[in-house]
Chains A and B, each alone.
Chain A
C-alpha cells in the first residue's frame, strides 16, 4: 500500500476500497503488502530456517560427543560430505558456519525482529499499515531470496562456506585455503548482500512508521516498550548493516577481482600471491562494527517483547518505564562503540583494547538496570503463568546468566585466555541465542491470537517451555567449564591429542541435553501448525492487555480498524491501577485500562 493509498483510507474511503477490490490469492498470501501477512511470512520463513539451523547443531554436537564415529544419519543427510557415515573435518566447519549464519541473521534478526516489528509497530501505534507497504513487501521477498540462496549453497560441489560465521579473510577469500571458500562462499556473500538490502528496507520503514504514523495521542512516551525496542533496533540496523555490506563488497572484490583490501604477503599451496598491503584486521573492524550491534539487534526486540509480556501477565506496570527506555537508548549507543572487544588479541594496538574494555563494561550498567526492573515488575504481581510469560521469565534468567560472563569476556585481560574457547560459545548462546529465542517464543505465544485469530494450546506450551528451559541450561552451563579448561571452539574433534580426553564425558552430557532441547521444539512445531488450523478461536483481547492491537478486530482487515483509528489517552501500563480512594480498580472489577480509554473521573493522573 503506498502512502497515497494510506491517506485515502484515512479519509474514510476505507470501506469502499475494501469492497471494490477483493484481493486475489497471490495478492493476499504471496505478494501481500499488508503488514500482518508480511509478519506471518517472516515468522514462518524464520521458523523453517531455525529448523535447519538447529538440526545442523545436532549433527555437529553428535560429532563432538562421539568423534569420528559413523552414523547412518550422517550418511543420509550429509551424503558425500560424510563418507561411510563419518563426518569430514571440512563438513564440521561448514555446519558450524552455516548454523551460526542462519541462527544469527535468518532466525534471530529476520525471524524475530522482522516478524514482530511488522506485526506490532502499526498495530501498537495505531496505524493502518507500514509507511510503505510496497517497500515492506520487497523487504520480505529479498529476505526470502537470500534464504533460498543460503540454503542452496549447501548443495554446491565444493560445499558451503566454512570459514566460521564471521568469515574472516584470508581463509574466506582463498579457495586454496579451504574448499568451502569457493562457490559456497560466493553464494554466502551474495545471500548476505541481499539480506542486508532486505534488512535496510525493513528498518527504514519501521523508523518512518514509528515517527510519522502514530495515532492521535500516541506520544513517544506513551509507546509500548516493544515499539521502543523495534524502533531503536531499526536505527542500529541502519547505522551498522551498511558497514557489513562494505566489508562483504570488499571481500567480493578481493576474491574475484584481485584487489588487496584484506590480503597481504600470502604463500599458499606452493605459490606466493601477488596481493600486498591489505590487512585482515581491517575486515575484523568492519565485520564487528556490524557484528556487535547485531547482538543487540537480536536482543533488543526480545527484551521489548519481554517487557510487554511480563507487564501484561504480571498485571502490573513495567517498573521504571523511563529507565527502560533510557537503557534501550544507552545500550543502542554503546553497542556501536564496543566492537573492539571481539579483537583484543587480534593484533590491534593494546591501547585500543583498554578503550574497548571501558565501553564494554559500561554496557553492563543499562543491562543490569533492565534485569533489576524485570525482577521488580514481578514483585507483588498477580502473575498469570501463560506460556509467553514463562518464556519471558526464562529470558530474564538466561539474560542474567549469560550477561554476567560478559564481564569476564569484556575485560581485555581476562579475555586473553578464554578468547575463542567454549567459554565464549556458552556466553553468547545464553545471552543472545537462548534469550532471543525465548523472546521469539514469548512473542509467538502471546501474539498468536493476533496473528492467526486462534489460541495456541497452553499445555503443549508448558511442556515446550520446561523441556527447553532444562535443556538449554543443561547444554550451556557446563560448557563454561570446558571453556575454562582452555578448549578452543571450532575444533572438529577434541581427542586428536590427549590433553582434552577427560572432557569427553561432559561433551556427551552436553549433546544429550541438546537432543532433549531439540525434542522439546517438536511440541512447539506441532502446537504451532495444529493451532493455526484447529486452535480455539481467540477472543479480541485474550490476555486483557492495554495496548492498541487488542482493540483491533480479531479478523484481519485491510487497515486494521473499522472506522476511525483509536485515540490514545494514556501510557500502555495501567494495570491494577486503583481509583483515588483506593477502594477498587479505576474501572470497577477490571484490572486493566486500555490505552484508548480516556482519563476516568476518579483517577489520579500520573506523569509517566
Chain B
C-alpha cells in the first residue's frame, strides 16, 4: 500500500515536471499571444488531473486507514470508555460516509463539466426544496450525535460518588507528577502552595488531622474495577492530565481544584497480554533495537499505562509523565500498606 502511494506521488510529480517543461516551452517569446486564461486545452488537461487527484485522495485515505489505523489506541481500559469508543466509531463512520460522497461529487463534477467551447452552463440559481433537504439532513444527523454525546458527557462528568470511591489527588508541577491518596479516613488533607516547605513538597496543611494518613507517591497505582475520583492541583502553570488509555483528560489549573473520575477495568498485566499490545510492543522493540543512543536496558520496552502532560507547560513539557499501574485489589492493598504516610514523612 505504501508502494502504491509512492507510485501515485511519483506519477503526480511526473505530471508536475511535464507541466514545468511545458511552462518553459510556452514562455518562449514566440508565444506572446498567449492570454494566460484557461482555454479548452487547459480545461481538458486540468479536468483530467482533477480526476487523477481524486484517485490520489482516495488512495491516501484508504492507505491511511489501512496502515495507520493500527496506531489507534487500544480498547478503552475504563468503564465509560466503551461508550466513548462506540460514539467515536459512529462519528468516524458518518464522517467518512459524507467525505467519500462529497469529495467524489466535487471532483467528478470538476472533471465532467470541464469547459468546452460551445458548452452551455445551466442557469440554475436556486431550488428551495433541494436546499431544504440538505439543511434538514445535517440537522437530523447532528441532533442524534448531539444527544448521544450529551448523555455520555453528563454521565462521564458527573460520576456517582460511592462509599467505595477512591479519592486521589494528582499534583502537577514543572515537570513531574505526584499522587496523593487520602488514606484510611478517605479524606484528603487541606493543601495550598503556601505550605510548601522542606519535605512537604505538595504544600499539605500540617495542622490538618485529615492530612496525617495521606500518602504521597510518584507512581499511580489503581485497583481494578473500583471507581476513582481524581482531584487535580497544579503548583505553577497550566498542565493537563491526559490518561489516553482510559479516555480521560482534565486540565490542571493553579488556584483551583479540577476533577475527573473513572473506573479502570483492565489491569496492566491484562493489557500487556492483549494481541494489540503484544504486537505494538514487539514492533517498538524492533525499532529500539536499531537505536544506538540507547543503553541495553532502555532498548527493552514493556508496556505500562501512563499519565501525560497535555498542555504546554515549559521546556520539558514533552517528557512530563507518570507511570500508572492498574492491579488487583489485593496487590493494591499490599502496595499502599508499604507506603509512607504524610505524618511519617514530616515526623522523620
Contacts and interface: CB of A to CB of B under 8 A. Distances in A.
Q: Do A and B make up one complex?
A: yes
B123 A578 contact: yes
A93 B50 CA distance: 38
Contacts of B152: 413
A402 B120 CA distance: 33
A416 B131 contact: no
A436 B157 CA distance: 36
A374 B134 CA distance: 13
Interface stretch (B178-186, B252-260, B264-272, B330-338): B252-260
A385 interface: yes
A166 B24 CA distance: 45
Interface stretch (B109-117, B208-216, B220-228): B109-117
Contact of B16 (A379, A466, A502, A578): A466
B109 A379 contact: yes
A213 interface: no
Contact of A383 (B113, B145, B249): B113
Nearest to B259: A347
Contacts of B99: 400-401, 404
A506 B255 CA distance: 39
Contact of A575 (B20, B123, B232): B123
B274 interface: no
Given A405-B95, A411-B149, A414-B149, A347 B110 contact: no
B306 A499 contact: yes
A378 B109 contact: yes
B73 A171 contact: no
Nearest to B279: A502
Contacts of B68: 478, 481-482, 506
B102 A371 contact: yes
A279 B43 CA distance: 57
Interface in B32-88: 32, 34-38, 42-43, 45-47, 49-50, 53, 56-57, 60-61, 64, 68-69, 71-73, 84, 87-88
A6 B298 CA distance: 74
Interface residues of B, number: 127
A361 B135 contact: no
A515 interface: no
A187 interface: no
Contact of B123 (A178, A316, A361): A316
Contacts of B121: 314-316, 380-382, 575-576, 591
22 contacts: A170-B237, A171-B313, A171-B314, A280-B254, A345-B240, A347-B253, A350-B153, A350-B158, A376-B130, A382-B120, A383-B114, A385-B43, A385-B50, A397-B107, A405-B95, A419-B240, A459-B22, A462-B49, A466-B15, A481-B64, A481-B68, A536-B35
Nearest to B244: A486
Contacts of B150: 354, 357-358, 412-413
Contacts, number: 402
B124 A316 contact: yes
Nearest to B321: A497
Contact of B280 (A365, A408, A502): A502
Given A385-B115, A536-B32, A488 B308 contact: yes
B229 interface: no
Given A385-B46, A455-B36, A498 B256 contact: no
Contacts of A470: 9, 12, 53, 56
Nearest to A482: B71
Given A280-B238, A346-B253, A416 B9 contact: no
A416 B84 contact: yes
Interface in A453-491: 455-460, 462-463, 466-467, 469-470, 473-474, 477-478, 480-482, 484-486, 488, 490-491
Nearest to B65: A481
Contacts of A93: 312, 315, 317
Contacts of B156: 413, 416
B35 A542 contact: yes
Interface string A315-329: 111111111000000
Given A321-B125, A417-B247, A400 B103 contact: yes
B254 A361 contact: no
Interface in A534-586: 535-536, 539, 542-543, 573, 575-578
A225 to B, nearest CB: 13
Given A364-B138, A498-B301, A380 B37 contact: no
B205 to A, nearest CB: 13
B60 A473 contact: yes
Top 4 A-B pairs ranked by shortest CB distance? A264-B255, A486-B244, A385-B46, A350-B157
Interface in A157-177: 163-164, 168-171, 174, 177
Contacts of B15: 466
In this complex, the member of B107, B110, B135, B284 whose beta carbon has the largest number of chain A beta carbons within 10 angstroms is B110
Interface in A293-337: 314-323
A477 B60 contact: yes
A129 to B, nearest CB: 29
A497 B235 CA distance: 24
Nearest to B22: A459
A320 B20 CA distance: 38
Contacts of A177: 174, 236-237, 313-314
